[in-house]
Amino acid sequence: MAPATRSVVLRLDDLALPPRYLTVASDLPLSHLLRSLPLPSSSFYLTSDGRPFPPSAPVASLPPSASLQLRLRALRGGGGDGGSTCAESRDCYLSMYLAKKPDKADPNEARLSRFTCCALSGEPLAAPAVADRLGNLFNKEPLVEALLHKRLPKALSHIRGLKDMIPIHLHPKPGAADEEVRFQCPVTGFEFNGKSQFLVLRGCGHVLSVKALKEVKTPGCLVCHKEFEEADKMPINGTEEEVAALRQRMEEERGKLKDKKDKKLANGLSGSKHAAPAAIADTEKLENGKKGEAAPAKRYKAADHAPAYANKKVYASIFTSSNKSDFKETYSCRSLPLGRN
């Protein structure tokens, strides 16, 4: 006679697995239902309708509903005897996972921001706009204000004054006044969003795409036709190598300018034209008088400086210090000298 069988539904919700529908002999233990699950017996227990069942109980002891739920036991610290709770370790793990990690910046958004916003204030680029000698873009007004109040960040310490700013001309994109990308190349129509390489001509300040200057071979600007040299091309928001080359060029130009000023100052001091006033005064003292004596001061006379074809006496009479009047004041009119009425 064949042994009696039972249909059992084994629910595995704690393992995130679908339920299993089994038909087994009634005299087999419940652990037979779990032989396909690689779980130690101490890590789970079985319940049916809220009642716990030991794994050694026979299948026949299940209620008629024959629905069995597998439950995982909560993890305990140490050997399970209560001597070690591992509370500190759990707290460390909770702190690690609950701590908010900083969001990674989207490189595409960062690139777009460098081409559409001022590198200092973060405001949208608008005329008048300028570029520094490293290819960064700014709105001129906040940059000048920061220079006047000495509020430039350390990263922009290479900007020392207006001479380090290059006025640029951005070509507006038609119908894009309210869009984020509002400028484009006037020749190719490429949007000024960082996806294409752009450069500024230092002589005229027009901003063009690199492809436009490659395709159109001309010694002049494609907008204003002003001639430029290869050294006048300055990349905008270039790569690290391009920025390093621009920085080296900036330092070289400043060094040459400093040497030129020092040479001009040295040449000026060696000649009498730019000599110090004190040195000229000492020379005049030695020529006009004896050594160690100051030359007598020459008295100013208005008649000696009269214009051509002018009467020296009349010209000198204009100045009160040159006209010694012999008139005396009268009792009746002190302000009107006698003989002038």
Q: How many structural domains compose the chain? A: 3
Domain boundary pick from 238, 262, 279: 238
CB of 63 closer than 8 Å to CB of 40: no
Letter for the amino acid at 262? D
CATH code, 66: 3.10.20.90
Torsion angle of the four alpha carbons 38, 39, 40, 45, in this order, in degrees rounded to the nearest 10: -150
- 137 with 64, same domain: the answer is no
pLDDT per residue as tens digits for the range 271-290: 545 445 555 555 555 445 45
Domain of 330 in residue numbering reads as 300-341
Q: Is the peptide bond before 128 cis (omega within 30 degrees of 0)?
A: yes
Residue 119 lies in a domain: yes
* Domain end point (choices 213, 238, 263): 238
User: What dihedral do alpha carbons 208, 210, 212, 213 form, nearest 10°?
Assistant: 100
What does DSSP assign to residue 60?
Answer: G
Q: Report DSSP state, residue 2.
A: P
Residue 289 lies in a domain: no
**Same structural domain, 113 and 218:** yes
Q: Is residue 53 situated within a structural domain?
A: yes
- pLDDT tens digits along 58-95: 877 777 766 777 777 765 445 555 555 554 455 565 56
Confidence of residue 260 (pLDDT cuts 50, 70, 90): confident
Nearest CA to 121 out of 142, 147, 149 is that of 142
Task: For residues 325-339, give the mean pLDDT.
Answer: 55
Two structure tokens written together for 110 = 């960062």
Considering the domain boundaries, does residue 55 fall inside one? yes
151-190 per-position pLDDT tens digit: 999 989 899 988 899 999 999 998 887 788 999 999 999 9
- Chain centroid to Cα 94, Å, comes to 36
Domain presence at residue 276 = no
Same domain, 205 and 308: no
Do 56 and 121 reside in the same domain of the chain?
Answer: no
Tell whether 231 and 118 lie within a shared domain. yes
For residue 82 the two structure tokens come to: 């209560």
Final residue of a domain: which of 46, 72, 98?
72
Sheet holding 5-11: strands in order across?
20-25, 5-11, 67-72, 44-48, 51-53
Same domain, 233 and 113: yes
Q: What average pLDDT is seen over the chain?
A: 77
The answer to whether residue 77 sits within a structural domain is: no
65 and 115 co-located in one domain: no
Same-domain pairing of 149 and 230:
yes
The residue type found at 128 is: P
Whether 117 and 234 share a structural domain? yes
**Residue 29 shares a structural domain with residue 120:** no
* Separation of alpha carbons 168 and 130, rounded Å: 5
Query: Residue 149 domain-assigned?
Result: yes
Mark whether 132 and 217 lie in a shared domain.
Answer: yes
Give, for 107, the enclosing helix (H) or strand (E).
helix 107-116
Q: Let me know the angle formed at the C-alpha of 30 by 26 and 31, rounded to the nearest 5 degrees.
A: 135
Query: Does the residue 175 lie in any domain?
Result: yes
Q: Are residues 56 and 130 located together in one domain of the fold?
A: no
